[in-house]
């Protein structure tokens, strides 16, 4: 891979966007490499940590390529298709953000289950200033994350959030000087949970309200028959006896 650097660990994968010469702008090659990574993680589920090289998460889409795209390109949903695929990965996705997360970079972060930042982050959606819309998820994910009033300021008035603002509105859940270490610490906590229960919980969380509680009962029935449920509960009972 040329746009991503991939590190495979026992229970997780770290994907580093590595185009620092263009502030890790997301281009067609990076999209293709992310799709290749998603295919691997769909077959062999692991926690995914996404970060950027040299103090920048991603400054957005590659404007040089974006300028040449036409109607049919937009209808193919180049970025939105990838970000939806990332959001639907079996195991949790953690965005470890430093520096800029703008445009498509912000939409990639919004597709993650967790977002952590450094005190240097700047996040926003400058698309309307370029004559386009934030069509890769921000128009609906951002409202869910930060609430409607702030989402409208970001999407319609070009507001850029600094680190303190991003933390206050819930765009990120923590600020850390070493954000990658914090992401690994979070991944450690996820890794202590039962993988099947985590996978099912992530899928159920994304389902519409009308699906509940029926899907919850089915998922619980699956968990109730797993060996991990018996082993973990017996270990809990054994600890209580001590």
Q: Catalytic: which of 21, 33, 42, 127?
A: 127
State yes or no: cis peptide before 213, omega within 30 of 0.
yes
d(CA 161, CA 110): 14
Give ∠ CA 169-170-172 in degrees, rounded to 5: 125
Query: Residue 98's closest CA among 156, 34, 170, 20?
Result: 20
Determine the Cα–Cα distance for residues 228 and 232; give it in Å rounded to an integer. Answer: 6
Is 107 annotated as catalytic?
A: yes
- 148 part of the active site: no
Kindly state the tokens that stand for 103: 């445009």
- Residue of 33, 54, 107, 225 marked catalytic: 107
The alpha carbon torsion through 148, 150, 151, 156 (nearest 10 deg) reads 110
Pairing of β 4-8 and β 12-17: antiparallel
Active site (catalytic) residues: 107, 127
């Amino acid at each position: 891979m040329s746009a991503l650097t991939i590190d495979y660990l026992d229970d997780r994968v770290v994907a580093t966007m590595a185009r620092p010469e263009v502030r890790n702008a997301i281009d067609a090659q990076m999209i293709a490499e992310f799709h290749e990574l998603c295919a691997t993680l769909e077959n062999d589920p692991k926690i995914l940590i996404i970060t950027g090289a040299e103090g920048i998460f991603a400054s957005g889409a590659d404007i040089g390529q974006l300028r040449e795209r036409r109607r049919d390109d937009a209808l193919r949903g180049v970025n939105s298709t990838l970000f939806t695929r990332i959001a639907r990965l079996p195991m949790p996705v953690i965005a470890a953000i430093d520096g800029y997360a703008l445009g498509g970079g912000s939409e990639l972060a919004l597709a993650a289950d967790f977002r952590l930042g450094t005190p240097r982050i700047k996040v926003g959606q400058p698309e309307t200033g370029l004559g386009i819309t934030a069509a890769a998820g921000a128009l609906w994910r951002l409202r869910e994350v930060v609430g409607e009033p702030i989402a409208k300021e970001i999407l319609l008035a070009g507001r850029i959030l600094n680190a303190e603002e991003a933390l206050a509105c819930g765009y990120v859940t923590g600020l850390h000087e070493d954000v990658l270490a914090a992401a690994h610490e979070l991944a450690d906590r996820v890794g202590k949970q039962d993988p099947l229960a985590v996978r099912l919980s992530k899928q159920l969380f994304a389902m519409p309200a009308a699906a509940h509680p029926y899907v919850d009962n089915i998922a619980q029935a699956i968990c109730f028959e797993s060996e991990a449920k018996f082993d973990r509960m017996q270990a809990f009972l054994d600890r209580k006896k001590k």
